[in-house]
Structure 1
Amino acid sequence: MLVIATAGHVDHGKSTLVRALTGQNPDRLAEEQRRNLTIDLGFAWTTLDTGEEIAFVDVPGHENFVPNMLAGIGPVPAALIVVAADEGWMPQSAEHLAALDALHVRHGILAVTRSDLADPAPARSQALSEIGATSLGRIECAAVSAPTGSGLGPLRRALARLARGMHPPDASAPVRLWVDRSFTVRGAGLVVTGTLAQGRIEIGDELVVAPQGTRAKVRGIQTLERATDSVTGVARVALNLRGLTRQDVRRGDALLTPQRFLDTTQCDVRLHETAVTVNRLPSTLMLHIGAAVRPVHVRPLGEDTIRLSFAPALPLHIGDRALLRDPGRHRIIAGVTVLDVRPPQLRRRGAAALRARHLTTLSGTPTEAQELARRQLIRRPELEAMGVTVTSAPVTADWLVDPDYWQDLSRRLIALVSDFTAARPHSEGLPAETARQKLGLPDLALLKSLVRPPLVLHYGRIVHGSAELPEPLARSVQQVSDVLRRAPFRAPEAQELQRLHLGEGELRRAVRAGLLLCLEGKIALLPDAPRRALVRLRLLEQPFTVAEATGALDTTRRVSLPLLRHLDGRRLTRRLEDHRREVV
């Protein structure tokens, strides 16, 4: 389907031309029909002889209704620019074209109406000259007369060629349907309409209403007044939503695929198509995107970059196109490209200038590598909600990390462990939580993923697993290990440890090296003793007594009690009120 918005000066025959092409009157309001003046958005459609479906969004041309016009053209990928032969290029023709250019609309057709009343050549020549200097470039033109039907055939053929030349959007892309109408139907409930630019909607889908954040389930879909089970963009759609009223959804709200857009009240943007320098911009302007409009506070940053602040929030992606308008002067100020939907705060002196230099490196076309380099560390759903396609695997859970930053964190962690060990030679290692805080990591799981050889994580502490022990100490530890491999829970007695010169300090060094596990002082076991113990304890009838555990482990209470308390502390076993235990 080709969805195309009309554009042009008031009373140049936009609605009349749409009516001649479709047989439908796009002016649906009684006041519009009485005054013969389009006030709000109108809609009509037709199927061409060649089979292409064309849906028209008819917008008002009067300067008093420019916000309504912008709500109509915002989500639409193509325009039918209408210029009357007997009046030629007019002020609202220029403003409508400026809006199309600001939104970077690249597809369109020029229709010179009233060609039965005046020679269409002068109007066509001037209009094509004006249009050619914008994002639309060179477009087809047809001279028409709606009352006589002259030129409608060539215009229909031009529309068919335009429809065939449009690239189909991504049906798997997230849905963002800007609502341009909201009304209730007796027996059905709330119905909203809009132009679906991309993605797919099916009956039963749950969508998020932005900015409210409420959920809505799709109970019915119509496109061009035909009921359907699903629809893909580009298309004019009407959705029957369950559980909401007309007060819950208004023009300018958006229906979104859950978790695929980031609601934001600030964004950094680059200006296009503007003759106004950044420092001369008014401090307050109106931002138009899709069918939404927001008053925004403007903060200049660089030569062509500014920060916009607004409320309520908007669901934005990096790369979105929008426009700024000065309602007091009745003119389009600039088109903008969204560069960042989660910009950093600018609190320090010189932060704005530094931010401006950084923004010069951004194109508005987000890549995963570029965004990870900028943000260093981010959750995958949040990055996808910014409009970034993610292909790399998380380092842990859903955390994505810039590779260079990850390597730097690894080097810093090794240095932290080395410094901690040097300052506390008899400690059991650097506490993992302390390391997380010093590295500024938001999640302990990230810290655990960083612990790789030569580092080892033992019971919440990080040690150098590859640390070499002095030869005499290494021989003593090896003798203990040999005994424990034969009888895993027969920990050496204190006299045996003394004979081997394994005091408290020597045992801690063995623990830091990942060679032993020490419980409550001098109960030395192999590091995998807890895992081996659980294997045996699971074979017991649950719950079990200390005596039963001691027998299953083939040891004494001197070892079994500290080991059970260790398992309790790691929540691998649970102590009950009757002093029995069970494996969790």
Structure 2
Amino acid sequence: MHVIATAGHVDHGKSTLVRALTGMEPDRLEEERRRGLTIELGFAWTALPSGERVAFVDVPGHERFLGTMLAGIGPVPAVMFVVAADEGWMPQSEEHLVALEILGVRLGLLVVTRADLADPGPAVREARARLAEGGLGRVEALVVSGRTGEGLGELRAALDRLVAALPVPDPAAPVRLWIDRVFSVRGSGTVVTGTLPAGRVAVGDELEMDGEPVGIRALESLKKRVDSATGVARVAVNLRGRAVPERGRALVTPGAWTSSDLVDVRISAAPGFSGPLPRRLIAHIGSAAILCDVRPLGGPAARLRLGRRLPLHLGDLLLLRDPGGHRASRVLAGARVLDVRPPELGRRGAARARADELAAASLDAESLLRVHRLLRGEQLLAMGCDLPGPPVEGDWHADPAHWSRLAGRLAEVVREHAADHPLEPGMPVEAARHALGLPDRRLVTALVRPPLEAAGGRIACGPSGGLPASVAGAVRRLGAELSAHPFLAPEAGRLTDLGLGPRELAAAVRAGALLRVADGIVLLPGADARAAAVLAGLPQPFTVSQARTALGTSRRVAVPLLEHLDRQGLTERVDDYHRRCRVGGS
């Protein structure tokens, strides 16, 4: 299926033309038919000579219903621009063209209707010239009469050529279905309609609307029940869920869009308008129309604060119009979305700096990461970006320059921590995370580079983190005392005299400079293996007293040392009084 909007000033001529093409009445309201004035969006469809089906969204032409017109053309990829032969190019025709130009619609047909009432030549020439200026210069021009049927065959053939030229939408794209009509059906409940531009919806799908889950109970396309529909398509969706739909809301794939009420944009002024923009405007996207506040940042860059959250991607186009209408054209500008999660602007000069960033911004993940520095893969996808490559850790992606700076900064904060806390085995990972302002502990460990090492929830310089000179000197003095009696561990008082209090002892043990046998009992590294070698020379099994004598130490040291050897598998108990050495420690 293909969907085309019918735009232009002449309401009666458009409706008559659509009726003649489809055999359907696009004007649903009795008031519309009575006054010959399109007030609401109308929908009709037909089969073309090729067998392709095309649906028309008939939008109002009168200036009082510009918002409704924009809701109809917002999601549609092509336009049938209708001009009346007896009226020619009108101010509202100009406004419709400006809107199409801003929204990027570049495919369509020019149809001059009511050719039975006036010479169509002047209207064709004027409309062609204006459409060319507005970016629709290559459109075919046809002359028809909806009343007499003149030219309808040629128009159907031209529609076939138009739909053949339309780009093929991605069926795997995330769904964003803007609601343009809501009604209730007895026995079924709430039904919404809209133009599905891309992606696929199916019965049973779970979508979201304003963050609330909604399910698809049933689905119709062109009045026929279907199990699924793929964009581009006109669909009617029977919803289940507690969310209350209305025109301007959107059904979206969960997690695939960023819901935002603050966006940074690049402004493109409408033809004939020169700024500055008013500070309060109406922003249109899809079928949504909401008030927004405009904050100029510098040059074409601006920040929009929207009246409510919208599901957005980078690159989305918003149309900005004057809510007061005190201008020749109320359509003032287009706004291309460059960031859906813009940073705060707190410091002096931040707005100007942000404008410079946006001037160089492109619609990709790399550009976003230069500003946000770190983003999860799911956040990038919800912003409408492809992932830039492998993540730095988990699903985190980083700006390469920022990631390199973080690695250097981590080394600095670890060295600073070591200087301030010389007896600690390293900087706690959580403290490093706070120092670097990182959102995830895993990012800290991913930044560790030699000579940094991470172990036990801490980061240190080198395998042990080193020892302060005072502690290293105290260990050397203890080693000198133990050289003559390697198993005669000094008592607590002597350790204190040497400068080895509890914190210093803990640091030396963590650094591998001392061996802790038990609380208050420390020896030099390797003393346990040497003790086992001495004990192996005793008659087996042996007692604690025999071990104490052989090792030249006290019972205070011998008992915990033997228990330590048991734990190491170097000795084992035979009974309550005897031990023996295990051959090879096995």
TM class by shorter-chain length? 0.7 to 0.9
Segment of structure 1 superposing worse, 512-521 or 51-60? 512-521
**3-state DSSP class of the match of 1:27?**
coil
User: How many residues are aligned here?
Assistant: 511
| Alpha-carbon contact 2:78-2:107 (below 8 Å) kept | yes
Deviation at 1:9, TM superposition (A): 0.6
Aligned partner of 1:253: which letter?
Answer: R
| Alpha-carbon contact 1:465-1:513 (below 8 Å) kept | no
Confirm whether residue 438 of structure 1 aligns to residue 435 of structure 2.
Answer: yes
Structure 1 residues 403 and 75: CA distance shift in structure 2, 3 A: same
* Correspondence for 1:389 among 375, 386, 390: 386
**3-state DSSP class of the match of 1:301?**
strand
| Alpha-carbon contact 1:507-1:516 (below 8 Å) kept | no
Counterpart in the other structure of 1:346 = 345
Counterpart in the other structure of 2:357 = 358
* Correspondence for 2:258 among 254, 258, 262: 262
* Correspondence for 2:308 among 312, 320, 325: 312
Deviations 1:215-249 (A, max 9, x none): 1011111111121111111111111111347xx10
**3-state DSSP class of the match of 1:428?**
coil
Deviation at 1:130, TM superposition (A): 0.7
* Correspondence for 1:399 among 386, 396, 399: 396
Confirm whether residue 295 of structure 1 aligns to residue 267 of structure 2.
Answer: no
> Structure 1 stretches of 5 or more lacking a match?
478-491, 527-553, 561-584
Q: Which residues of 2 match residues 122-521 of structure 1 at below 5 A?
A: 122-210=122-210, 213-244=211-242, 248-274=244-270, 275-278=272-275, 280-329=276-325, 331-363=330-362, 366-466=363-463, 505=504, 508=507, 511=510
Q: Which residues of 2 match residues 22-171 of structure 1 at below 5 A?
A: 22-171=22-171
**3-state DSSP class of the match of 2:172?**
coil
Aligned partner of 2:307: which letter?
Answer: A
**3-state DSSP class of the match of 1:281?**
coil
1-side partners of 2:515 and 2:186: how far apart? 75
Aligned partner of 2:417: which letter?
Answer: F
Aligned partner of 1:349: which letter?
Answer: R
1-side partners of 2:516 and 2:370: how far apart? 40
With the length of structure 2 as denominator, give the TM-score of the two structures.
0.80
2-side partners of 1:515 and 1:259: how far apart? 55
2-side partners of 1:458 and 1:389: how far apart? 35
1-side partners of 2:31 and 2:310: how far apart? 32
2-side partners of 1:227 and 1:389: how far apart? 35
Deviation at 1:313, TM superposition (A): 1.0
Structure 1 residues 242 and 521: CA distance shift in structure 2, 3 A: farther
**What is the root-mean-square deviation of aligned Cα atoms in Å?**
3.3
Structure 1 residues 30 and 524: CA distance shift in structure 2, 3 A: farther
Deviations 1:305-359 (A, max 9, x none): 2211122111111100121111322510011111111112222222111111111
Deviation at 1:523, TM superposition (A): 8.1
2-side partners of 1:308 and 1:524: how far apart? 70
**3-state DSSP class of the match of 1:16?**
helix
Deviation at 1:456, TM superposition (A): 1.9
Counterpart in the other structure of 2:552 = none
1-side partners of 2:517 and 2:437: how far apart? 30
Deviation at 1:406, TM superposition (A): 1.4
**3-state DSSP class of the match of 2:298?**
coil
Aligned partner of 1:188: which letter?
Answer: S
Deviations 1:287-318 (A, max 9, x none): 11100011111111122122111221111111
Counterpart in the other structure of 1:566 = none
**3-state DSSP class of the match of 1:57?**
strand
1-side partners of 2:116 and 2:190: how far apart? 44
1-side partners of 2:259 and 2:400: how far apart? 28
Deviation at 1:141, TM superposition (A): 1.1
2-side partners of 1:92 and 1:3: how far apart? 23
> Structure 2 stretches of 5 or more lacking a match?
477-486, 526-560, 568-586
Aligned partner of 2:436: which letter?
Answer: L
Structure 1 residues 467 and 110: CA distance shift in structure 2, 3 A: same
2-side partners of 1:44 and 1:127: how far apart? 25
Deviation at 1:421, TM superposition (A): 2.1
**3-state DSSP class of the match of 1:13?**
helix
Structure 1 residues 502 and 349: CA distance shift in structure 2, 3 A: closer
Deviations 1:14-35 (A, max 9, x none): 1111111111001111221222
**3-state DSSP class of the match of 2:167?**
coil
Deviation at 1:517, TM superposition (A): 10
Deviations 1:177-209 (A, max 9, x none): 000001111111111100011111111111101
Deviations 1:25-74 (A, max 9, x none): 01111221222221100000011120111010000111111111010001
Structure 1 residues 557 and 191: CA distance shift in structure 2, 3 A: farther
Provide the identity percentage: 51
Deviation at 1:172, TM superposition (A): 1.2
Structure 1 residues 520 and 51: CA distance shift in structure 2, 3 A: farther
| Alpha-carbon contact 2:4-2:79 (below 8 Å) kept | yes
Structure 1 residues 430 and 244: CA distance shift in structure 2, 3 A: closer
Segment of structure 1 superposing worse, 122-131 or 401-410? 401-410
Segment of structure 1 superposing worse, 397-406 or 512-521? 512-521
Deviations 1:428-451 (A, max 9, x none): 111222211111112222212223
Deviation at 1:525, TM superposition (A): 13
2-side partners of 1:48 and 1:340: how far apart? 41
With the length of structure 1 as denominator, give the TM-score of the two structures.
0.81
Aligned partner of 2:293: which letter?
Answer: H
